[in-house]
A = this chain, B = another copy of it.
């Protein structure tokens, strides 16, 4: 039984909200997407969650200040008639053990139930092991009736073989369905080698249409261009090294991947 410490600083005044989850995962595609939305919508933080199922470590910000491993809850109130209030689940970690992942899921679903959430969007990456320039977007759903809308947005839902979603983005939908919640997982293709804001952008473009929200994408586009430039440079250097050494370095540098949070 993992121990969770949930701290709600203010009960948000929201009605019948949807939930959007973007915690760290492959390429941090979901985390970057959800954080961008939180920032651009100026969503407000209303709680944090700590757990002894999180990795036994802390992060150090560039300033030297320590940050515990945590999940955070933000809310945003709808501004237009065709929009709905949103609860965001973001943070710098998922749980570090199998049963901790299930316990984390239950805690998030409890919070969802408490505020009347009936629909969850989970965001993530789909690792393909090669650099992807135009990331495709894949979808998975809890209920058949959610498929047409996704396919209209060119999201790939049907597939040739059985797939899997590892971690919180899958569990929230799997256990959510057992608790009568609906849900969609939106996954952007990503190499899995580095943080991938370009894939986050593709995921966000789908999500925004699904939930009738539009935000400025400028800073995300800039991050994507920066990453692209760094990757191109790294590839140039790698190619040169290979030519000089007459060998192939298989594992790409994970320098960029070390950034978590």
Contacts and interface: CB of A to CB of B under 8 A. Distances in A.
Interface of A: 1-3, 5, 50, 52-69, 95-103, 139-144, 147, 150, 157-168, 170-171, 173-175, 177-178, 183, 185, 258-261
Nearest to A167: B56
Nearest to A97: B98
Contacts of A97: 98-99
A64 B141 contact: yes
Nearest to A156: B64
A147 to B, nearest CB: 6
For this chain, the copies found in one complex come to: 4
A171 to B, nearest CB: 6
A57 B171 contact: yes
Given A57-B167, A103-B52, A175 B62 contact: no
A69 to B, nearest CB: 7
A141 B53 contact: no
A236 to B, nearest CB: 22
A66 B142 contact: yes
A98 B53 contact: yes
30 contacts: A1-B1, A5-B178, A52-B98, A56-B168, A56-B171, A57-B164, A57-B165, A57-B170, A57-B171, A58-B173, A59-B163, A59-B164, A62-B160, A62-B161, A63-B147, A63-B157, A64-B141, A64-B147, A64-B157, A64-B158, A64-B159, A65-B144, A66-B185, A67-B174, A68-B175, A68-B177, A96-B98, A161-B258, A162-B259, A162-B261
A22 B67 CA distance: 21
Contact of A141 (B66, B68, B139): B66
Nearest to A187: B60
